[in-house]
A and B are shown apart, each in its own frame.
Chain A
Amino acid sequence: AQTVTQSQPEMSVQEAETVTLSCTYDTSESNYYLFWYKQPPSRQMILVIRQEAYKQQNATENRFSVNFQKAAKSFSLKISDSQLGDTAMYFCAFMKPLNAGKSTFGDGTTLTVKP
Chain B
Amino acid sequence: DTGVSQDPRHKITKRGQNVTFRCDPISEHNRLYWYRQTLGQGPEFLTYFQNEAQLEKSRLLSDRFSAERPKGSFSTLEIQRTEQGDSAMYLCASSASVQAYFGPGTRLTVT
Which of B11-19, B67-75, B77-85, B99-107 is the contact stretch? B99-107
Query: Which of A67-75, A80-88, A103-111 sits within the interface?
Result: A103-111
Query: CB of A102 within 8 A of chain B?
Result: yes
The answer, yes or no, to whether A91 is at the interface (CB within 8 Å) is yes
Is the pair B104, A104 in contact by a Cβ cutoff of 8 Å?
no
CB distance from A93 to the nearest CB of B (A): 8
The yes or no answer to A45 lying at the interface (CB within 8 A) is: yes
Instruction: For chain B, residues 6 to 53, give those with C-beta under 8 angstroms from any C-beta of chain A.
Output: 31, 33, 40-45, 48
User: What separation, in Å, do the CA atoms of A67 and B98 have in the docked complex?
Assistant: 20
Separation of A47 and B40 alpha carbons in the complex (Å): 19
Does B33 lie within 8 Å of A102, measured CB to CB?
Answer: yes
Cβ contact within 8 Å between A91 and B43: yes
What's the minimum C-beta distance from B21 to chain A, rounded to whole angstroms? 15
Tell whether A55 is near chain B: CB-to-CB under 8 Å: no
Interface residues of A in 33-85 (CB under 8 A from B): 33, 37, 43-47, 50
Supply 8 further A-B pairs (C-beta < 8 A) apart from A43-B104, A103-B100. Answer: A47-B99, A100-B95, A101-B99, A102-B33, A105-B43, A105-B44, A107-B40, A107-B41
Enumerate chain A interface residues (CB-CB to B < 8 A). 4, 9, 33, 37, 43-47, 50, 91, 93, 95, 97, 99-108
